[in-house]
Structure 1
């Protein structure tokens, strides 16, 4: 698929995540205040929606059972999750968040 425009960067305030549907996926666009990151909106522990959790710096917490993930790498940071969440490259072009989606 390649680079896909999703939403305007200003729609995602620092310290928040916003879900977009792109390429048949639910993706959480996260603004850490230092940059934008895109991850699957799906906790690898039980499938919970990560966008509804708290984003603190680079860590997002699943609201269901407290699993945390690094939004920059997808790495699971604490139990009950052990598997990483998928991440996608992000760029800002003319104020729009674009995500590089696989074909």
Structure 2
């Protein structure tokens, strides 16, 4: 696993999200009550920017067509068969890092 710094802790305060790039991947970073989570940044519906979506509690709403995902698990909110890809996250000092699998 390759750990890549995508933000500083202060860049994504509790209740917010942001779009980041890590090793060519678009990553949607979320801060839920001080805990960080990361999903693939492209909504599986039509590629909307999940990192620019509205975060309510632990649910992000895609700004393009309203698809909703639990950011802690990637679970779609109405289709139990749809789980969106996520990345492991760790905080090292003031850096937020995501784990990218090496080929």
Q: TM-score, normalised by structure 1?
A: 0.90
Query: Is the CA contact (8 Å cut-off) linking 2:44 and 2:84 kept in structure 1?
Result: yes
Which residue of structure 2 aligns with residue 21 of structure 1? 21
**Which consecutive segments of 4 or more residues in structure 1 shift more than 6 A?**
none
The number of residue pairs the alignment matches comes to: 102
Which residue of structure 2 aligns with residue 94 of structure 1? 93
The gaps in structure 2 that reach 5 residues or longer are none
**How far is 1:44 from its partner?**
1.1
Counterparts of 1:83 and 1:24, CA distance in 2: 24
Alignment of 1:36-51 (within 5 A): 36-51=36-51
**How far is 1:73 from its partner?**
0.8
The gaps in structure 1 that reach 5 residues or longer are none
Which residue of structure 2 aligns with residue 57 of structure 1? 57
> What SS does the aligned partner of 1:63 have?
coil
Q: TM-score, normalised by structure 2?
A: 0.90
Counterparts of 1:34 and 1:75, CA distance in 2: 20
Query: Is the CA contact (8 Å cut-off) linking 2:28 and 2:51 kept in structure 1?
Result: yes
> What SS does the aligned partner of 1:44 have?
coil
RMSD: 1.6
Query: Is the CA contact (8 Å cut-off) linking 1:45 and 1:83 kept in structure 2?
Result: no
Counterparts of 2:78 and 2:13, CA distance in 1: 26
